[in-house]
Structure 1
Amino acid sequence: MLNTVPSRLSRFLAARLSPEGELGLHLTVGLALLLAAAWIFGAIAADVVHGATITRVDVRLAHWFHERATPGFTRAMLFVTHWNGLAGSSVMGALLALWFWRRRARYWLIACLIAVPGGMLLNVALKHVFRRVRPSFDDPLLSLLTYSFPSGHTAAATVFYGLLACYLVRRVHAWRARVLVVTAAGAMVALVALSRMYLGVHYLSDVLAAAAEGAAWLAICITAVSTLHRRRLARGETSWSERTHAAEDLG
């Protein structure tokens, strides 16, 4: 009896770390990313609620950006922030969904249709939970009446560019190309976050929490859809068309 315990444990771990199967490595990695992102979000949210050190850093950094604003950089940041706003994110999400549909990548399409609008709704709900007031200046570069925490633009950028990066990483095989894809996606999220802080509509903690929120939500969506895809493959429930285009879909 005692000898069977280690063997069962080893079989369990082997199944969780296997790249094959319904509940293999993809689920393990997805849950790990979800837990890590959720923990980061919770830690930042707790610090904001209790007025920890990061809130004082927030105010100092907000004033630092505001005091160094220039007309040219302000125009550039306004372009970035408007391009990645509700309308821009919706258009980019719709175009990405259309691309998945034309490529018959139906599980990526499902992930996109869930992740992009779902992430926006989640962010609105979190804003009303925390109800944090935005930074305030006598001569603001941009004024908004909605709540500040967490940043909707940053969360949407994390979901969209993260989803796009996941798809491209699955499509390319050279490790340098994969690093370039992930780096580019991270740079776009950072640029959006910078635009929100520079324009004085979000604090540092707002954008950091939003990135964690977006990563957690994206991990949920991709892991769930990938598990559904693997389960249907394992049970032989996929059609000939789905098997033919399996290379386009989630692994």
Structure 2
Amino acid sequence: MSLWTRFQRFTAARLSPEGVAGAHLTLGVVMLFLGTLAFGLIADDVVSGAELVRLDVAVANWLHVRATPAMTAFMLGVSFFHGGIAGALLALSLLVVFYVRKLRWWLLAGMIILPGGTLLNVLIKYSFQRARPTFDAPLLTLTTYSFPSGHTAFAAMFYGLLACVLVAHLRGAAARAAVVLAAGAMVALVGLSRMYLGVHYLSDVLAATAEGCIWLAICITTVSTLRRRRLGRPD
């Protein structure tokens, strides 16, 4: 067998929806690489005080001076439902749905992704210890660290997991694309709410999104590979 033939077979196996090391593993590795690259670049800019940090301050000030009572109330609501007790109940509700629907592998993934991702975010926060934005008349005041945004990371993991489940069960490219776009929009809205309220910078939100994608890629790829091995899928 020629080297080119082997390469073709290897590539076909990596892109196949079947097999233990098929397309799911390839997609997971690509997502992990891109997420890690993005997080690393953002973190390096934050630590070194590069141009991104100046953009952080400009965006924070621009949003703050345009705050209105109605928009503040809306953003507080968005933020409230994606953190703390409300966020925990939202995550628990999704896990209950997985349990009731007998989606045991997705349940396992969710039980690792959501609590584990929250712990990971706390560890990263204490590693960087970045102070939150400050204003003379703040809309919301928090004393914990800023980088990366916990609410945005949770949203990336929660809606990313939900999108993965729906995409796996939906038929048709249009429906799947709509799900992915809706999930991305929700993550963006949560991130915007944290910036609008003045408790996070743009780089905090971007890094949190990358963090969520990294953790999703690791956990879903691992659980999917384990499931395929248990089902005896050929490699």
1:245 matched residue in structure 2: none
Output one character per residue of 1:11-59: Cα deviation in whole Å (capped at 9) or x when no partner: 3222212211111111001110111011001000001111110100100
| Cα pair 2:20 2:233 within 8 Å, conserved | no
Q: Which residue of 2 aligns with 1:167?
A: 165
Deviation at 1:86, TM superposition (A): 2.2
Q: Residue 22 of structure 1 aligns to a residue in which SS?
A: coil
1:6 to 4, 7, 12: 4
**Deviation digits for residues 80-130 of structure 1, max 9, x if unmatched?**
101111212211111111111111110000000000011100100100111
Counterpart in 1 of 2:31? 33
| Aligned amino acid, residue 182 of structure 2 | A
TM-score normalized with structure 2 length: 0.96
Q: Which residue of 2 aligns with 1:109?
A: 107
Looking at CA atoms only, which structure, 1 or 2, has the larger radius of gyration? 1
Equivalent residue for 2:187? 189
Query: SS of the residue aligned with 1:81?
Result: helix
1:182 is paired with a residue whose SS is helix
| Distance of 1:160 and 1:60 partners within structure 2 | 29
Q: Distance in 2 between matches of 1:171 and 1:125?
A: 34
How far is the alpha carbon of 1:10 from its aligned partner?
2.8
User: How far apart are residue 191 of structure 1 and its match?
Assistant: 0.6
Is 1:232 the counterpart of 2:210? The answer is no
CA contact (8 A) 2:56 2:202 kept: yes
5+ residue gaps, structure 1, are 237-251
Matches within 5 A, 1:73-92: 73-92=71-90
Contact preservation (8 Å) 2:110, 2:161: yes
Letter in 2 for 1:98: V
Distance 1:6 1:174 in 2: 34
**Aligned-CA RMSD value:** 1.3
CA distance in 2, matches of 1:16, 1:235: 14
Paired residue secondary structure (2:95):
helix
Q: Deviations over 1:119-163 (max 9, x none)?
A: 100100100111110001111100000000000000000000110
1:61-210 alignment runs, 5 A limit: 61-210=59-208
Distance in 2 separating the partners of 1:179 and 1:228: 27
Amino acid at match of 1:207: V
**Aligned: 1:42 with 2:40:** yes
- Displacement of 1:62 in angstroms is 0.5
Quick check: 11-20 or 211-220, which moved more? 11-20
CA positional deviation for 1:180: 1.5
Q: 1-side partners of 2:162 and 2:86: how far apart?
A: 15
Which letter does structure 2 place at the counterpart of 1:170? A
Point out where structure 2 has 5 or more consecutive residues left out of the alignment: none
Partner Cα separation in structure 1 for residue 169 and residue 233 of structure 2? 25
The share of aligned pairs that are identical, in percent, is 58
- TM, length-normalised to structure 1: 0.90
User: How far apart, in 1, do the equivalents of 2:203 and 2:233 lie?
Assistant: 45
User: In 2, Cα distance between the equivalents of 1:107 and 1:69?
Assistant: 43
Deviation at 1:235, TM superposition (A): 6.7
Question: Which deviations, in whole Å up to 9, do the C-alpha atoms of 1:203-242 show, x marking residues without a partner?
Answer: 0000001001001101111110000000111179xxxxxx
Aligned residues: 234
